[in-house]
């Protein structure tokens, strides 16, 4: 026998850690999706696709701006000591991914704004006609546009990777403690972003291209998930127990049904049929991918907190 009783009963810590509620997964999801959107928009700018007047690289940056701000607001809501939030920007803590993230976000906004300025939406230029002049001048400099593309791609990668690194540096939570988590979050961010662009693209070719890209991202995501579990299952006991939480344990039904089934396999099948012109493109598959990406973050954050070096005493 092995029994442990504790008199500790701290809120949101005992019997299992549930410190981070809905705000963190929502933030990680929006951050990841915006990262993917920055990479896609950046690539369009870099590759010269922006010359097509209905290229979605003109609408994605503003959406990214709004989504990221919503994500940051969720993060702000999560802080227990809100009046001190400015403290993040009076220091740089080299070992803290959260500190890195705070400073990366400071660079992400100018990158998004530079992208928006290349061709701001008409409802903005009607209010601020000066912006049209600026846009006109910027468009005359292809070199500048290329660099804005690169800037967006690089920062998108950093943003997408950091959302995973934030969790994976926590050795205390065995489920998160995998060096593949940032790859999973980056690929999942790319796939949800591609799904979104596929959904809204006005240009048929672009929609088709993004559906194909999304299929690729979904396949890679499945592969990374398999690798992540292989890594955890061949580690120490706490890591094996953590992986089992998702594979066969408490979180298994949600993981298999919503993340793997409805979030990856079924939309992948639908989109494969669509790109092969067997069925029409519909919003169903991309919406499933986006919701699957959100649920993935919820499951990883929640199950990660549940996983523990010493979980046995709470079973």
**Interacting residues toward another protein by CB under 8 A:** 1-14, 17, 19-20, 78-82, 84-85, 87-88, 90-91, 93, 95-99, 101-102, 169-173, 236, 238, 305, 308-310
Compute the C-alpha angle 168/73/161, nearest 5°. 25
**Minimum Å distance from CB 122 to another protein?**
40
From residue 21, how far is each of 73, 84, 193, 300, 302 by CA, in Å?
14, 20, 24, 12, 8
How far apart are the two ends of the chain, measured CA to CA in Å?
13
| Euclidean distance between CA atoms 27 and 69, whole angstroms | 9
Dihedral in degrees, nearest 10, Cα atoms 284, 261, 70, 149: -80
Closest separation in Å from C-beta 313 to another protein:
8
Q: How far is the CB of 18 from another protein (least distance, A)?
A: 11
Q: Which is nearer to another protein, 30 or 167 (CB)?
A: 167
- CA–CA gap between residue 67 and residue 74 (Å, rounded): 11
Asked whether the CA dihedral 297, 298, 302, 305 is positive or negative, the reply is: positive
Give the residue with the Cβ less far from another protein, 143 or 310.
310
Identity of the residue, 172 or 250, whose beta carbon is nearer to another protein in the bound complex: 172
Rank residues 63 and 305 by Cβ distance to another protein and give the closer one: 305
Nearer to another protein, 102 or 218 (CB): 102
268: three-class secondary structure by DSSP: helix
Query: Taking the complex as a whole, how short is the minimal distance between the CB of residue 151 and another protein, in angstroms?
Result: 24
Specify the residue, 99 or 139, whose C-beta has the smaller distance to another protein: 99
Give the shortest CB-306-to-another protein separation in angstroms.
12
Q: In the bound complex, what is the minimum distance in angstroms from residue 29's beta carbon to another protein? A: 18
List the alpha helices (DSSP H) in 52-96.
60-78
Q: What are phi and psi of 60, to 5 degrees?
A: -65, -45
């Amino acid at each position: 026998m092995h029994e442990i009783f504790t008199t500790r009963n701290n809120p949101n810590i005992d019997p299992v850690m549930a410190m981070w509620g809905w705000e963190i997964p929502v933030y990680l999801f929006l951050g990841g999706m915006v990262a993917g959107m920055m990479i896609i928009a950046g690539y369009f700018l870099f590759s010269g696709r922006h010359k097509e007047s209905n290229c979605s690289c003109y609408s994605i940056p503003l959406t990214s701006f709004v989504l990221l701000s919503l994500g940051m607001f969720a993060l702000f809501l999560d802080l227990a000591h809100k009046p001190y939030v400015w403290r993040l920007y009076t220091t740089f803590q080299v070992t803290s991914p959260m500190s890195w993230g705070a400073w990366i976000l400071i660079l992400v906004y100018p990158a998004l704004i530079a992208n928006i300025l290349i061709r701001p939406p008409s409802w903005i230029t009607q209010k601020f006609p000066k912006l049209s002049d600026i846009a006109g001048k910027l468009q005359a400099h292809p070199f500048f546009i290329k660099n804005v593309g690169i800037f967006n791609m690089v920062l998108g990668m950093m943003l997408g990777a950091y959302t995973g690194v934030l969790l994976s540096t926590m050795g205390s939570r065995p489920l998160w403690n995998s060096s593949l988590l940032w790859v999973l979050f980056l690929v999942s961010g790319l796939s949800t972003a591609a799904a979104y662009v596929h959904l809204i693209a006005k240009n048929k070719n672009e929609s088709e291209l993004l559906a194909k890209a999304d299929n690729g991202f979904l396949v890679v995501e499945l592969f990374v998930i398999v690798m992540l579990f292989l890594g955890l299952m061949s580690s120490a006991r706490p890591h094996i127990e953590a992986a089992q939480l998702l594979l066969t344990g408490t979180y298994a039904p949600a993981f298999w049904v919503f993340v793997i089934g409805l979030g990856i396999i079924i939309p992948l099948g639908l989109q494969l049929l669509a790109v092969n012109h067997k069925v029409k493109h519909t919003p169903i598959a991309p919406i499933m991918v986006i919701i699957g990406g959100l649920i993935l973050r919820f499951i990883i954050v929640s199950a990660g907190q549940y996983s523990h070096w010493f979980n046995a005493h709470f079973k």
